[in-house]
Amino acid sequence: MAAPTAPLWRAAMSEQLLAADHGVSAVLNPDERARWSRLQRQTDRDDFVAARVLVRQLLVSAGVADDIAAIALAQKCAQCGGPHGRPSVVGHPEVFISWAHSNGRVAAAVSDRPLGIDIEPVDAGVPSLDGRARTVTEWVRLEALVKAGLTDLDGALHLVLDWPPSPDGRRFGDYLLINAHDGKTSGVIALAFASDHARDRHA
């Protein structure tokens, strides 16, 4: 990923990704294993692993590695230093990744620029953090912008995110925010990425 490229992204159902033996559970690092073991619902456990399967598949497709089992991922919170927060690829600071999961659905994206992706079922209930009702489309847009690092959650709550879907997306400074409805997962997806004129690539 030496030259600037548009993000490579994909969405899938967790059960389909886990149907084949990818061996990802064997390469989860100790922090990931600890987080996985604390999850109570089997759906949440499956989503946790499936998101890491999917992002590894995209990293192989992007030429970062030849084998998903050879890819080490890390997470570190910018505030507390804990093993959560924005994910990264160990040994590849030039590569940016993002993933999301919700009720058996996962989405992931890879690029050489900061990015964020989010997915929710089309009929998902959306939390009201500031007393304002939001659509699922608005919520995934908000989450994608926060994950991309454009703003924090408090700042995102003040953004106007209720414009009609458009193939051209909407610019926020140096970031482009696009939406997609994925028929395979019945999911609403938002992808935000630092870009001049690059478009996304759906794997």
Whether residue 122 contacts residue 134, with contact meaning beta carbons closer than 8 Å, is answered with no
pLDDT, tens digit, 9 for 90 and up, residues 16-31: 888 866 666 666 778 8
Instruction: List, for residues 26-57, the tens digit of each pLDDT value.
Output: 667 788 888 888 999 999 999 999 999 999 99
Tokens at 17, concatenated: 């990704």
The rounded distance, in Å, linking the Cα atoms of 114 and 9 is 13
User: Is the overall model pTM greater than 0.85, yes or no?
Assistant: yes
Stronger pLDDT, 96 or 174, i.e. the higher one? 96
Per-residue pLDDT of 113-170, as tens digits, reads 999 999 999 888 777 767 677 889 999 999 999 999 988 888 888 888 888 877 778 8
For 108, half-sphere exposure in the C-beta direction (CA atoms, 13 angstrom radius) is 27
Residue 200 confidence (pLDDT): 56
Q: What is the pLDDT of residues 91-126, one digit of tens each?
A: 999 999 999 999 999 999 999 999 999 999 988 877
Spans of all domains in the chain: 8-197
Q: Which two tokens stand for residue 101?
A: 């999961």
CATH pick for 8-197 out of 1.10.10.10, 3.90.470.20, 3.30.420.40, 3.40.50.10140 = 3.90.470.20
Buried b / exposed e over 146-180, threshold 16 CB at 10 Å, is bbbbbbeeeebeeeebeeeeeeebeebeebbbbbb
Is-contact 113 96, C-beta < 8 A? Answer: yes
